[in-house]
Structure 1
Amino acid sequence: MWRQLLGVIIVFLIIYPINAIDTLNTSNWWDDRWSYREEIEIPIDTSKEEAKFQPIDIHIVFDNSCWAVNETYNSIRVICEATNGFHELESQVYDLNHIDDHHIDSCGLVFLIPDFATGKERYYVYYDDNEKPANNYIDHVSVEESYYRYEPISGYPFESKYFKVTQHGYIVYGVAYQGEFLGFSTAHQITKFKGNTVDVSSPKNAETWASFDFFYYYRDDVSKFSSTIQTLLSKEILIDGNLMVRFKIRSTTARKDVETAAIYTYYYCPTIDKKIFVHVKHKALEELHIGMETDVGNICGLQAGSMRSPSIEDLNFGRMYPYFHVYAEDGSIKEYTLDLNPEYTPNGIPVLTVKDDVDLGKHAWASFD
């Protein structure tokens, strides 16, 4: 299988601490039942249209004791003060650091920039050292382990053990930790599903794919490759909250020469363009020797392609895109035209190789479109 090193657009969340501001003397107060508040510094420009519904994920250290039994029963509320008054925003807390059974001094906090943001609003976290009622926020997202198998041709299964990410009951993403796709293992393979998918029954449910394994050829032969899709080491759901889910997959190669640890995070998104955030660490366990001069190792990949079958309807899936774009080191966007009806070649059709010496820019991204 030909694979080409491609970047993936990844929006990184910047983790900022909260600066405590003494606001107790301020005349405006959301609710007198809450004793404390601290202002949240937002690390993005909320006056921009693209800031709407952007997830904010921060670590907060409280100046005062904060009542919190768990992620649901706590006194923490995120309040947005706009020109038309105060608005309570749905929020999620995680990684609670307890100082006793009912109080914490720090935690992680997630919320979304509201659609009415103008850049002039202010954001606060309100809390108290006494008990408060549960927040009763809607549980928008969830993650669970799932299994899928489809074998239209004997000996060539589509099989996957994966983390299934859902939003309001619809499957948004699947991230495989074990499985097989046309003879290849599938750890760290992400599938983005078509809208309104409630059950995975065939490959036609998929919209696009990406991978975050490390991959290289150790001989000048396409069948002689080493990839961290090959052997699962561990898997774990880290957080399953109302606005955010997070899980981790660790894997290694069959040769045990490279290890990949990736943390996948999905935030509730009420818009059509739904993103998954990935933090990946590839670690070489020994010195690697590349077998192909055109290959220097792939750190991630974006798959775009189509399959057509005149006899099996479910094998008619995928999409070919006419262009491949790269944000280059010189700040330009380089465009490459793709053949939408290519001839079959065992090794694939090179569009951009290491010999072209195209480096990604500071704000690196690449896309099929």
Structure 2
Amino acid sequence: MANNHKGSLRKVGLDFGLISGAEWLIIIAAFLGRYLLQFYQTSIGSLGLAFGMDSFEIGIGFALFTVAFAFAAFAMRKFRPSQLKSVEIISLLLLGITMPLYIVATGFAEVYTLMIIDGFITGLVMDSFMTMAGMASKDQSKRQVEQASFSFWVALALIVAPFTTGYLLHLGIKEIFLIFAVMAFVAIPFVASLRGKYSLQYMEEKGHKGTASISSLFKNRQFNWAVIAAFAYTIPFYIIFSYGVIYGGVLGLSATTVFYLFAAMFVGDVITRFIIRLKSPILNRRPYMIFAVTIALFSALFLALSSVSIAFFIIAFLIAAIPDGIAWTLGIQIANTTFKPEEIGTSTSFFSSSMMIMSVLMPLVGYMASVKYIGFTKTLWIFAAVTAVFFVVELLLRPGKNDDMQNAAGSK
């Protein structure tokens, strides 16, 4: 009877009673951390404008933040799973302290410095949470279900953050950074509660240093699918993050309207994660990755067509986050379940960082868009072509004999 009840809950998508208490503590804390990351990423454009930056300078700021986020992966390689709780608590404390400093920042150098510092800290915050997701259980199938649940519930922050930002924008973007910094402090008690019967179970063996070389990760073909998909979808994704407010203004949309579009954009992301969560554990991830890069290509093309009609701009927004819901969720599952316990710190953090690599192109996007004889339209067509290249590469990464099966050796 209890099993039938749980099955019914699973069908309608409820996780209460189906995943562990420890996983719920991780989910609640990670929701708050993801809220702050989402707020940061969608607000850099508005923050830059508040300090008088042009499109090129905003692109530099976004790149500095996301590259610093990516570099957190190299620090994460040094931490064992048993150390993640302490890393998380310290990182959240530092984030809560640094975010309000935009109120007193005056020049570009100070703003860029804060973006670098907070980019690195949020990298540690999210990499730690993503590594901890599913570690409440040792069973691989249950871990995949718990990771999918983690992905879905945390993804709700993707909608809530830009919506609340748009609603509060009249207060001033710097002041909102001060208000939202409180969430970092609120998350700390939930992380600190991960002990006793709520302790994480999926740990490294005693005496193991918990490190793995990055080059060894690419021997896993499924991991390669996830990384290439991340490269493809983050091109239009980050262009929207960095320049959505600016380009929307060119097309006649207010900043508040664009933030509401950000919220609408992530509805598709959350719905996609919800579907994947219901289907997890998934053995054959290949079709999902192909679908993700296909949607990413369409998003890039619709962005380029925005000058023809604002309807294309809106459609590009509405579909841009769907690949994130697919590639991020399944990528984390691959990173967490196809490697050994002592390797997952490296695999999850590097996968997380791979999603940030395309941010280095954002200053180039801003510069090209500001050049008189290029402008936004030609720039967007050029980067749609770059997205198409990654789409082709993903298609060429054909599965091997055992790629549609679980990599049991890595998960034991």
| TM-score where L is the length of structure 2 | 0.24
User: In terms of Rg, which structure is larger?
Assistant: 1
Higher relative contact order (CA 8 A, sep 6+): 2
Hey, which of these two has a bigger chunk of strand by percent? Answer: 1
Name the structure with the higher helix share: 2
TM-score of the superposed pair, with normalisation by structure 1: 0.26
